[in-house]
Amino acid sequence: MSPFEFITIFCSLILGLALTHIFRAVSDLYEIRDRVSTYWLNSLWVVTVSMWTIYSWWGLWSLSLDMDTWNYAQYWFLVVNLASIYFFTTLVLPKATDEGKIDLEEHYYSVHKAFFSIVAFSLFTSTVLNHYLFGLPLATPQVIMPSIVGLAAIGAALNESKTYHKVIGVFMLLMFIAFQLTDVVVITFVS
Segments in the chain forming alpha helices (H): 3-31, 40-59, 61-66, 72-92, 104-128, 141-158, 162-181
Domain that holds residue 52: 3-181
Q: How far is residue 61's CA from residue 55's CA, in Å, rounded to a whole number?
A: 10
Determine, yes or no, domain membership for 189: no
Count the domains in the chain. Answer: 1
Establish if 188 belongs to a structural domain: no
Per-residue pLDDT band for 64 (boundaries 50, 70, 90) equals confident
The string of pLDDT tens digits covering residues 107-156 is 999 999 999 999 999 999 988 887 777 777 777 777 788 888 899 999 99
Q: E strand or H helix at 37, and its extent?
A: strand 36-37
- Residue 138 makes CB contacts below 8 A (sequence gap 6+) with 131, 144
pTM for this predicted structure: 0.89
Residue 115 lies in a domain: yes
